[in-house]
Amino acid sequence: MDYLVHHMLHTSARRLADKVALVHGEERLTYREVALRVKGLANGLNNAGIGPSERVGIYLEPSIAQVISIFGVSEAGAAFVPINAVLLRDQVTHIIRDCGMKALITTRAKLTSILDSLSEMPTLEFIVLFDVELPTNLSCRVYRLEDLCADQPTASRRQERISKDLAAILYTSGSTGRPKGVMLSHANIIAGATIVSTYLEITEEERILAILPFSFDAGLNQLMSAFLCGSTLILMTFTFAREIVQMLLRERVTGLAGVPTLWSLLAQPTSTLSRQELPDLRYITNTGGAMPQPILKTLRQTLTTTRIFLMYGLTEAFRSTYLPPEELDRRPTSMGRAIPDTEILVLREDGSQCTPGEIGELVHRGPTVSLGYWGRSEDTARVLRPNPLLAPELGDCERVCYSGDLVKMDEDGFLYFIGRRDTMIKSSGFRISPTEVEDALFKTGKIRSAAVIGVPDEMLGQAIKAFVVPRDGEQIDQAQLISQCAERLPRYMLPKNIEILDELPKTSSGKVDYPALRRREVG
């Protein structure tokens, strides 16, 4: 029985030992080879002092080492924390501090970029580097990943974990404050892989191209689904959309998951996608925002033999809905219906159920509801609440996830996205809290107040727009302000546009009136 994340790997390795599990460039590893390294790394991490449920960060570009690390941490009984490779020092430092990380697996170049903040990470006991050469001047212990992967078990027995234990923490932004760590149990991750691979009908014949990061719930789910089913996962980083088309051809890819920005790039009239036959591409999935209708139409015309699945999920509940491809004609604007073994409720403010067509909050119940936010019980209690529809005799035995997304449901149970309850921004698949961007603007020292909103953008879904009020006597140059923000913020968080105002609009209670700013953009 597979009840821990790494069990899925070992079951596939027993069944399909010599099958290629991972492809990255010219590198190919079979399930047997992956399983062997993962076992070694788990021993190595335990020998280095990693104990049950301790947090191990993985700050690597997409690579075979990254996948080995994820499963190795799981097998060591610890919790993996994937950190998106595009994040910069401020965000990485926050994550390491927030979850009290004990070890970090990274590269020498990435380590250099956060070195100045190492003193602010008191819990970090050691670093594992992917590189051959190790630095000698660090205040904490350093190991080489290859060495740890060859470790033997020690005499002391590893404490066994169960499926309810913490397996991973995924950091994601909300509407305010800094990113929060969503805690996923082994059961959450396995349920997600089982459910999604069931409706996508993934088999061991599948060759899945992974371009979504593993720090993102849909990206992690893709990896887990592939390993559960014994499929081959192809890893890549890309700069130009055409590199993806080349890879689809070269590796005869059968499945690809992407966010709307990617599909917009691939669906451009001049894209190489329109000139290639891709008979092997069995399915594509979209997540991380609604796919624009013209893009969907183009993809359907171009990829005539490919099934298109529109999906929706939020990290706090891992995966939630999907639209079966056969419904695309009838309900192209729908975000689909509940995934198997999951119920999606649309609730009014008072907790009662909306009637069809009535707008309410999407509430998710099922086995992928996460364990909440690491170290933030108050925030957790706001998002994960007792099921209001449960018979009182059952008590509050079940927590359901309040998404903050406003939706309506049709008579057949299909959902339609209306908007957010709060100010959270979604751009190129990333969740962005306005406060993170506002903080970076404040840190320039040039402005008195700032408010950041998302504005509709053809390519990104939403683009970031900032309104700022300069400090008295400050002359503000927009380009320079963006440039200063770029020191602290990863690209996806940078404002595309900054407008200078004399005063920000305020509500009667004196808070920034975000709806007024949004209306200003639309009007």
Partner 1 sequence: MSGNDNMRDRIQGFILERFPLARKQHFDHQTPLLDGGLLDSLGILDVVGFIEDSFEITLNDDELLPENFQTISHLVAFVARKRSEKQLPTA
Determine how β-strand 255-258 pairs with β-strand 283-286.
Answer: parallel
Neighbours of 365 (CB within 10 A): 19
Q: Which two tokens stand for residue 474?
A: 């400050």
Three-state DSSP state, 96: helix
CB of 517 to partner 1, least distance (A): 23
CB of 467 to partner 1, least distance (A): 20
How many angstroms separate the CA atoms of 278 and 267, rounded? 14
CB of 97 to partner 1, least distance (A): 22
CB of 174 to partner 1, least distance (A): 22
Choice between 12 and 428, CB closer to partner 1: 428
Choice between 422 and 477, CB closer to partner 1: 477
How many angstroms separate the CA atoms of 96 and 57, rounded? 7
Choice between 490 and 505, CB closer to partner 1: 490
CB of 487 to partner 1, least distance (A): 5
Q: Alpha helices of 251-329 — where are they, by DSSP H?
A: 260-266, 293-302
CB of 295 to partner 1, least distance (A): 13
How many angstroms separate the CA atoms of 87 and 226, rounded? 26
Q: Could you list the residues that contact partner 1 (CB under 8 A)?
A: 86, 238-242, 265, 268-272, 428, 459, 479-480, 482-483, 486-487, 491-492, 494
Cβ pair 118, 95 in contact under 8 A: no
Choice between 45 and 440, CB closer to partner 1: 440
Q: Which two tokens stand for residue 12?
A: 């596939």
Cβ pair 235, 67 in contact under 8 A: yes
Choice between 348 and 491, CB closer to partner 1: 491
Return all residues near 243 (Cβ < 8 A) that are at least 6 apart: 236
CB of 483 to partner 1, least distance (A): 4
- For residue 172, the 8-state DSSP code is E
CB of 496 to partner 1, least distance (A): 8
Choice between 479 and 522, CB closer to partner 1: 479
Cβ pair 465, 452 in contact under 8 A: yes
40 phi, psi to nearest 5 deg: -60, -45
CB of 523 to partner 1, least distance (A): 24
At 521, which helix (H) or strand (E)?
A: helix 514-522
The helices-and-strands tally (H runs, E runs) of the chain is: 15, 27
Choice between 297 and 491, CB closer to partner 1: 491
Choice between 176 and 272, CB closer to partner 1: 272
Choice between 104 and 241, CB closer to partner 1: 241
Cβ pair 321, 338 in contact under 8 A: yes
For residue 417, the cross-strand partners are 407
CB of 18 to partner 1, least distance (A): 34
Choice between 428 and 462, CB closer to partner 1: 428
How many angstroms separate the CA atoms of 85 and 110, rounded? 8
Cβ pair 319, 200 in contact under 8 A: no
How many angstroms separate the CA atoms of 345 and 405, rounded? 12
Unique residue bearing structure tokens 């966010």: 259
